[in-house]
Structure formats: C-alpha cells, structure tokens
C-alpha cells in the first residue's frame, strides 16, 4: 500500500496529513512501544485547531495495520492498546541550565471493548498545553512518515530531530540521549551508534523528508556528546505535501471497470469504506437482524465510521440487556421512518 492509499484511509477515519506537538513532548522521555506510539500518533493527527482535551477520538481497529504496515494480529494489537502507559516525561531546562524531568499523564483513557472494532482515546487535561491549540514552540510531523517508521528508536528520534530542524540541528549529551531513548545505562557510544543511531538515522533518511547526519563529540578522550545536523529534503517534502496523481484510465478500461463493478454489486453487498482484512460490517448488520435492502441503504447513507459506531452502541445495549424490538434499527438514522 503506497502513501496515497494510506492518506485516503487516514482521511476517511478523520486523521490529518500532519500531527503537532509541543517541543517539550517531542523531546520527552516516552517508554512506549512502536505500536503504542502509532496509536497515539493516529489520534494526534485527528486533533483540529478548535479541539481541546475533552474531545473523544475513535480509531477503527482495522485501520491500524493498514496505516502502519503491521501484521493483522488483532490480539497483539489490542493487548498493546490495553497496556498504553498513559504518561510521558516532559523535559524542560531550568534557569541554572539543569534539565527538569516532569512525569505528565497525557491520556485520560484508551479503551477497546471486544466486538466494537473501535479504539477510543481521550487525552487528559494535562495534555492540553502539549497537543492542543499550539501557537509557538511546536513540532509538526508528517503522519504517514511517523507511522511508516518501523524501529522504536527511529520513531522517537524522528520527533526529537524534527523539533530541531528549524535551527539546523543540535548537540546532545550522550547520557541524556540514552535517558531520552530509554537505553541501558551500560551502553557506551559504540553500542548506541551500532544498535540505535546508525539503523534509525538510515531509516529516517529513507522514509521521511529529513536529511540527518550525526557525529560524536569528544571531551578529552571520551565521547561525551553527539552532534546532529538536520536538513529538509525538499523533494521528499514536496512529495509528502502533494498526493500522487494516478494515470487516467482509457475509455476501454473505464467500461471494463464499470462492468466489473456492476457484476460485483450483484453478487455481494459491501460498504464502500470497507478495507481488506476488516471484519465485514455487512455480516455484522445481518447478525443484528437487518435485511439486505436495509443494509444497502445504510451503506449508501452512512460512513464506515458511523456504521461501526452504531454497531458498537448495539453491542453495548446487548450487554446491558437493553435490546427491545427494533433496537438495532434505531441506531441507524437512515432507517427511521
């Protein structure tokens, strides 16, 4: 799946091409797995200028592997979601030049209920100055680039280095770099370089619009700091900003495609927002007693997100024994008389 297809999925679920965070968050200490970072980044891309921490964000479960390229192991995905730590360590510099580490709870709750196929995320009040209505000292990341990076350290370094892109780079203490990336204290520079910097920087240079170089800086005979030079790859940045233009089909291809579409529609019902690998919402609506005629109306009138939300509310009603006649149909506004 290429970037253009991922942008379509991201747009369909309400995500944006970029996500924004305060520099303190981009440079913070985050003990999260790559999957947990991806889920949070998808939610961050859904934040709009008029939103605040009270907004609720819903991520279709099946969109996660489609956007990140992960295996569709939903047991593993939901386990990772359930274990999201919910806090980060914000790093600021005091008046004396010393770093201040402050643990900040940024997620009010992150919940997945079996059978809902939707992940619900709400940020905490403490997250307001870090992710919402930012006017200055913020870092903007390309959402697809952030999700495409596979290595945990590459994801963290992408945010950190992007926060220094405007100034062309930075010089970082080796010990603080280890703290920020949550590396073992026993790591020497050779370990950091071989196991973290070299593969992560190579991946960042390949998959994002940043061009990063690094060089060790000695203090006496010991390597004490790392110098990062960060530049923007203008061509990649332009490619990220512009959606790929697809080749225009010939009249013959259009006729063949139209004929194939008609044949498919006769064979089966399918929601236009349904992605490969997702549990079919048509099957789930049939299980709740909707006829094919009613399902066809729902698929035409309601978005995939609205349908999954309605099915989620129906499941809640079943669990709470609130399932009178017509309850399922009442959750689909387009079926009301």
Is pLDDT of 178 > 80? yes
Burial (CB count within 10 angstroms: exposed 0-12, middle 13-18, buried 19+), residue 310: buried
Distances (CA, A) of 183 to 158, 170, 192: 17, 20, 8
In the chain, what are the domains? 1-148 (1.10.10.10), 149-242 (1.10.10.10), 270-335 (no CATH)
The predicted model gives 189-212 an average pLDDT of: 96
**What confidence category does residue 277 fall into, taking pLDDT thresholds of 50, 70 and 90?**
low
The predicted model gives 83-106 an average pLDDT of: 79
The predicted model gives 229-245 an average pLDDT of: 66
Residues comprising the chain, all counted: 337
The predicted model gives 238-247 an average pLDDT of: 54
Residue burial 100-122, b: 16+ Cβ < 10 Å; e: rest: eeeebebbbebebeeebbbbbbb
Collapsing DSSP to helix, strand or coil, 95 comes out as: coil
C-alpha triplet 112, 116, 121: angle, nearest 5°: 35
pLDDT at 267: 45
Most confident option among 8-12, 191-195, 240-244: 191-195
């Amino acid at each position: 799946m290429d970037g253009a297809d991922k942008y379509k999925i991201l747009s369909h679920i309400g995500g944006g091409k970029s996500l924004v965070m305060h520099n303190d968050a981009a440079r913070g200490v985050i003990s999260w797995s790559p999957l947990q970072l991806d889920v949070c980044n998808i939610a961050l891309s859904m934040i709009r200028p008029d939103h605040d921490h009270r907004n609720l964000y819903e991520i279709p479960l099946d969109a996660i592997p489609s956007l990140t390229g992960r295996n569709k192991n939903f047991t593993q995905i939901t386990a990772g979601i359930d274990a999201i730590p919910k806090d980060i360590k914000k790093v600021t510099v005091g008046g004396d030049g010393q770093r201040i580490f402050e643990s900040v709870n940024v997620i009010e709750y992150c919940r997945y209920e079996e059978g809902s196929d939707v992940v619900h995320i709400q940020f905490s009040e403490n997250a307001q100055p870090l992710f919402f209505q930012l006017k200055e000292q913020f870092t903007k990341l390309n959402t697809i680039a952030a999700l495409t990076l596979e290595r945990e350290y590459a994801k963290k370094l992408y945010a950190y280095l992007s926060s220094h892109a405007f100034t062309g780079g930075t010089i970082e203490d080796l010990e603080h770099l280890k703290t920020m990336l949550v590396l073992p204290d026993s790591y020497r520079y050779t370990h950091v370089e071989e196991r973290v910097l070299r593969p992560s920087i190579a991946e960042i240079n390949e998959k994002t619009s940043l061009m990063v170089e690094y060089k060790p800086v000695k203090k006496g005979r010991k390597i004490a700091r790392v110098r990062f030079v960060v530049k923007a790859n203008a061509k990649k940045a332009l490619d990220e900003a512009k959606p790929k233009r697809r080749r225009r089909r010939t009249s013959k291809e259009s006729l063949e495609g139209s004929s194939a579409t008609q044949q498919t529609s006769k064979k089966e019902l399918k929601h236009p927002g349904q992605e490969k690998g997702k549990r079919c919402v048509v099957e789930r609506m049939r299980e709740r007693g909707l006829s094919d005629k009613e399902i066809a109306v729902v698929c035409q009138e309601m978005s995939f997100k609205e349908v999954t939300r309605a099915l989620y509310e129906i499941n809640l009603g079943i669990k709470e024994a609130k399932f009178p006649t017509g309850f399922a149909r009442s959750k689909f506004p387009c079926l009301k008389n």
